[in-house]
Structure formats: structure tokens, C-alpha cells
Amino acid sequence: LGIRTDGRLFAWGRNVEGQLGDGTTIDKHVPTLIGTDTWRKIMVGANHSLGIRADGRLFAWGFNGQGRLGDGTTVNRHTPTLIGTDTWQEIAAGGHHSLGIRADGRLFAWGRNVEGQLGDGTTIDRHIPTLIGTDTWLAIAAGHSHSLGVRSDGRLLAWGWNNERQLGDGTITNRH
């Protein structure tokens, strides 16, 4: 996926789950225009995509296993699908989960959570964006099954799968 300088969204590559957002599951070998909207930010996970449209609204498309799109279902979406009514400033797409910082700085997570990568203190999958704590956040990133974030106080936090010490805490213990 890529955003052209005029804000238009283009996609190409593997599309077996509809993750390109063009309404098909046909692979694209050249950049293909996706819709007519303009976009501010996009992220890709394992067979799913997230985007913040120019108006700040959140969209998701592609494979929806474990609810990683955040639309309340596990139905795959082949075109960008509006997620809720909030506006957003940041997004991150992990292997099977998604993160977002809402316009007010609050952190939300959804999708697969078997390794605690959502950070809600459980290992329960979430099918809609779920508020994580009460802090405000500046930045987020998502790996295959772990997540990282910088809180507004400047502190870096990491949670989720830690089998290869990817959380940086010196252990191999998952953090929820």
C-alpha cells in the first residue's frame, strides 16, 4: 500500500484476503487506485490493512480473523470499512492484532490476544477497539505478537509475546 502525494491510496501485491482493498481477492502487479478518498496514514499487518482517512476516520480491510479489523465481526472485508465514529491520530498493525491512538491520545487495541499483545491484562480476543488503561500516548508500534508504545510522559512500554526477548525487559515472560 502507498499514499500518493495527493493523498490517494494505491495498493499492489498479494490479495488473497482482500487486503489491498480494491473489492477483489485478485493479486495486483502494479499500483492500483483504491477508491476516491484521500488518506493521512496506512499500516499493514498479516493479511489486513488499516488506514486513517484525511478526515481522521479509521478504516480497516482484509482478513478479519480474531477480529483484527475492529468492526465487531470476523467477516473479511474487501474494501476499506469504517470502524466506529471516532477520529484517530495513530495506528499500528501487528501480525494478528491492531492498535490505535484516538484523537484524544487514548490507546485502543483489538484482534488476537493469545499472547497478551493487546495490553488489556487478559488473553481474550477483542473484536472492537478496546480502551487500554487511562494514560495518553504519543506513539505505537506492533510486531507479530507484541506491541510497543510511548506514553505522553515519554516512557516506553512493551507488552505481548516475549519468547525472543523482544519486549526488552531481560526475560522471556509474556506481558499482558
On the 0-12 / 13-18 / 19+ scale of CB atoms within 10 A, 131 is: exposed
Asked if residue 27 lies in contact with residue 56, where contact means CB atoms within 8 angstroms, the answer is: no
Confidence at 175, pLDDT banded by 50, 70, 90: confident
73-94 confidence digits (pLDDT tens): 999 999 999 999 999 999 999 9
Beta strands in the chain (DSSP E): 2-3, 8-13, 28-44, 48-53, 57-62, 77-93, 97-102, 106-111, 126-142, 146-151, 156-160
Q: 99 - beta bridge partners?
A: 92, 109
- Is it the case that residue 172 has pLDDT exceeding 90? no
Q: What is the pLDDT of residue 55?
A: 98
- Largest CA-CA distance found in the chain, in angstroms, rounded: 47
- Residue 56 DSSP label: S
On average, the pLDDT of the chain sits at 96
Supply the pLDDT for residue 38. Answer: 98
Measured torsion, CA atoms of residues 66, 67, 72, 75, in degrees rounded to the nearest 10: -90
Residue 27 phi/psi, 5° resolution? -60, 145
Q: In 3D, which of 14, 28, 83, 86 has the Cα closest to residue 50?
A: 83
Grid coordinates 495527493 are at which residue?
Answer: 6
Inter-residue contact 109 to 141 (CB < 8 Å) = no
